[in-house]
Structure 1
Amino acid sequence: MQDEPPVVVLRLGHRPGRDERMTTHVGLTARALGADRLVLEDAAAGRKETVTDITDRFGGPFEVEVTDRPLGRLRSWDGAIAHLTMYGQPVQDREDEIRTAHRDEPLLVVVGAEKVPFEVYERADFNVGVTNQPHSEIAALAVFLDRLFEGRELDRTWEDAEKRVVPKAAGKRVVDLDDEA
């Protein structure tokens, strides 16, 4: 988020034909809830366009990268690494430590699509779970980012937006910001 070291979400794995919506929603969740960047594997390169389009229309900043070496990104990361896994320690028991680490250095948040290599568990500074029950990686990322930012991401200012959602008790309204100018 703005004025803090970056938070980068690494989507590790992508099963074509099965994970298109899941990977897209990982990206949209990362963007909406305060991450600065999403890194996708080559197999998920098609999801970049969708997330970039949302960023262009509803504001940023938010970047999407594609890499042919996702584990290389993990290995070369200069900062703290949090791996979201239902097998990890409860996030509520580690969130203060994660927040403290993030004050001083960038944070890489690893979100797997399938079984991740054991190396991810070994390289992570924090293997955390939002629950130790089967659940969605999208839900895990949302809860994790909300706890990391302590709700500040909900009041984020969006730059260069073309559109804005107007909150309503019922119905929907999206305004074109060019029309408001």
Structure 2
Amino acid sequence: MITVLRLDHRVGRDTRITTHVCLTSRAFGADKVILSGQQDNHIIESVERIVDNWGGNFQVEYNKNFRQVIKEHKDNGFEVIHLTMYGKQVCDVIPTIRDNGKDKLIIVGGAKVPTEVYEESDWNLSVTNQPHSEVAALAICLHYIMDGEEFNTVYSDSKMEIIPNNEFKEVINKRK
């Protein structure tokens, strides 16, 4: 199981980026996103509509207390991975992380990440040790963890399906 914890969501200011964290998590193989910070039912409802149309069992929920989320996941044997530009390069340690059989809690930061997140994490990982988007870092980290298998995901319960095409958009509406 892969769960993503989005720290410090701010209503209005972070709506687009947090939505992209959720959609990227789903598309790249995570099972769930937990939002902390300010509660934003609009994002939860939006992601639930996307899952309803495009399929899968992906979940999104809110828990204001990120410390409790981290503790519960650690207590349940999850490996805690914090994505930060200050961490070890993901490509240098991914075989250990991918192959250890542990469930993952991947933490994606907000405006200011508390020191305790760094301290409580089993891994502080970076993608390039340069400032860039947390969505990009999440996508690359999940791609490494999934070892490319996210490209083979089929959502048998989807109501919509894209037919890959190099020349035009082709979407099948499977609603009955």
TM-score class, shorter: over 0.9
Q: Unpaired segments of 5 or more residues in structure 2?
A: none
* Stretch of structure 1 that moved more, 54-63 or 70-79: 70-79
Q: Which residue of 2 aligns with 1:127?
A: 124
* 1:38–1:64 contact (8 Å) kept in structure 2: yes
Query: Residues of 2 paired with 1:44 and 1:126: CA distance?
Result: 28
Q: Residue by residue, what CA displacement relative to the aligned partner does 1:47-72 show, whole Å, maximum 9, x if unpaired?
A: 11111111100011201111121221
Q: Which residue of 1 aligns with 2:107?
A: 110
- Report how far residue 170 of structure 1 moved: 1.8
2:12 maps to a residue whose letter is G
What secondary structure, in the 3-state scheme, does the structure 2 residue paired with 1:48 have? helix
Is 1:155 aligned with 2:152?
A: yes
1:147 maps to a residue whose letter is Y
What secondary structure, in the 3-state scheme, does the structure 2 residue paired with 1:43 have? coil
1:142 maps to a residue whose letter is A
Is 1:146 aligned with 2:140?
A: no
What secondary structure, in the 3-state scheme, does the structure 2 residue paired with 1:134 have? coil
What secondary structure, in the 3-state scheme, does the structure 2 residue paired with 1:26 have? helix
Provide the aligned C-alpha RMSD in A. Answer: 1.2
* Stretch of structure 1 that moved more, 39-48 or 22-31: 39-48
Q: Unpaired segments of 5 or more residues in structure 1?
A: 1-5
Q: Which residue of 2 aligns with 1:62?
A: 58
Identity %: 42
4+ aligned runs moved over 4 Å, structure 1: none
What secondary structure, in the 3-state scheme, does the structure 1 residue paired with 2:29 have? coil
Q: Residue by residue, what CA displacement relative to the aligned partner does 1:123-150 show, whole Å, maximum 9, x if unpaired?
A: 1111000111110000000000001111
What secondary structure, in the 3-state scheme, does the structure 1 residue paired with 2:135 have? helix
Query: Residues of 2 paired with 1:151 and 1:114: CA distance?
Result: 30
TM-score by structure 1 length?
A: 0.91
